Chains A and B, each alone.
Chain A
Amino acid sequence: MTAPLLAAQGVCHRFGELAALEDVEAAVAPGELCVVVGPNGAGKTTLLRVLAGLLRPDHGSVRLRGSPLDSLSRREIARSVAVAAQEPSLPFPYTVAEVVGMGRAPFLGPFGRESGADREIVLEALARTGLALLSERRFPTLSSGERQRVILARAFAQTPCVMLLDEPTAHMDLGHRVKTFEDLRAWVAGSPGDRAALVVTHDLILAARYADRMTLLDRGRCVSHGTPREVLDPARIAEVYGVEVSVLDDEEGRPVLVAHRSRIAYTPRPDGSDR
Chain B
Amino acid sequence: MKQVLTVDDSSSVRQMVGFTLRKAGYEVVEAVDGRQGIEKARAQKCDLVITDLNMPQMDGIQMIAGVRQLPGYSFTPILMLTTESQPEKKDAGRKAGATGWIVKPFQAEQLIAVVQKLVR
Pairing of A with B: no
